[in-house]
A and B are shown apart, each in its own frame.
Chain A
Amino acid sequence: MMAALSTHALVAGYERDLPIVRGIDFRVAGGELVVVLGPNGAGKSTFVKAIAGLVPIHSGTASLGGVDITAMPAHEKIRHGLGFVPQTENVFATLSIHDNLLLAADILPPERRKQRIADLYAMFPDLAARPSLRAGQLSGGQRQMLAVARTLVVEPSVLILDEPSAGLSPKIVAEVFARLKAICAGGVAMVLVEQNVKAALAIADRAVVLVEGRVRHEGPAAALAGDPVVAELYLGARRAETVP
Chain B
Amino acid sequence: MTPQVLMDGLVTGSMIGLGAIGVTLTYSILRFANFAHGEFVSWGAYFALAVAGALGAVSGALTAPIAPFSFGWALPVAALVSVALSGGLALLVDALLFGRLRDRRSTVIILVMASFGAALTLRSLLEFIFTSKPAYYTKALQIALPLGGGLRATPDQLLTLGVAAVLVLAVHLLLTRTAIGRSMRAVSENPQLAGVTGIDVRRVIRTVWLLGAGLAAVAGIFAGLLVQIRPQMGLDLLLPLFAAAILGGIGSVPGAMLAGLVVGLAEAVAVPLVGGEWRAAVAFVVLVLVLLFRPQGLFGRAG
Contacts and interface: CB of A to CB of B under 8 A. Distances in A.
Question: Which of B190, B194, B201 has the most CB atoms of chain A within a 10 A radius of its CB?
Answer: B190
A99 B182 contact: yes
Given A75-B199, A75-B201, A154-B198, A106 B179 contact: yes
Contacts of B193: 86, 89-92
A93 B196 contact: no
A104 B198 CA distance: 7
Given A75-B201, A78-B198, A79-B198, A103 B192 contact: no
Contacts of B272: none
A40 B182 CA distance: 36
B195 A95 contact: no
A86 B189 CA distance: 15
Contact of B196 (A78, A94, A106): A78
A103 B200 contact: no
A86 B198 contact: no
A74 B192 CA distance: 9
Nearest to A107: B198
A103 B182 contact: yes
A138 interface: no
A146 to B, nearest CB: 12
A219 interface: no
B185 A95 contact: yes
A174 to B, nearest CB: 26
A73 interface: yes
A53 B186 contact: no
Contacts of A94: 185, 189
A54 interface: yes
Contacts of B194: 103
A53 B185 contact: no
A103 B199 contact: yes
Contact of B195 (A53, A93, A99, A151): A53
A22 interface: no
Nearest to B200: A75
A242 B199 CA distance: 46
A52 B196 contact: yes
Given A75-B196, A78-B197, A78-B198, 8 more contacts: A75-B200, A84-B196, A92-B186, A95-B186, A95-B189, A103-B183, A106-B199, A154-B198
Interface in B194-211: 194-202
B186 A75 contact: no
A62 to B, nearest CB: 14
The 7 closest A-B pairs by CB, nearest first: A74-B195, A78-B198, A107-B198, A106-B179, A84-B196, A75-B200, A75-B198
Given A93-B189, A95-B189, A106-B182, A54 B195 contact: yes
B199 A54 contact: no
Interface residues on B, range: 10 to 19
B182 A54 contact: no
A99 B182 CA distance: 7
Contacts of B183: 103, 106
A141 to B, nearest CB: 19
A54 B192 contact: yes
A79 B201 CA distance: 14
A206 interface: no
A150 interface: yes
A78 B186 CA distance: 16
B211 to A, nearest CB: 18
Contacts of A104: 197-198
Nearest to A77: B196
Nearest to B185: A95
Interface string B117-134: 000000000000000000
A73 B195 contact: yes
A93 B301 CA distance: 13
Question: Which of B185, B194, B196, B200 has the most CB atoms of chain A within a 10 A radius of its CB?
Answer: B196
Contacts of B189: 92-95
A102 interface: yes
Contacts of B192: 54, 74, 86
Contact of B190 (A73, A92, A102, A106): A92
Interface in A141-187: 150-151, 154
Contact of A54 (B179, B186, B196, B198): B196
A233 B88 CA distance: 59
A141 B78 CA distance: 55
A78 B198 CA distance: 5
Nearest to A104: B197
Contacts of B186: 92, 95, 103
Contact of A89 (B185, B190, B199): B190
A103 B196 contact: no
Contacts of B202: 73
Contacts of B198: 75, 78-79, 104, 106-107, 154
B196 A102 contact: no
A107 B186 CA distance: 14
Nearest to A93: B189
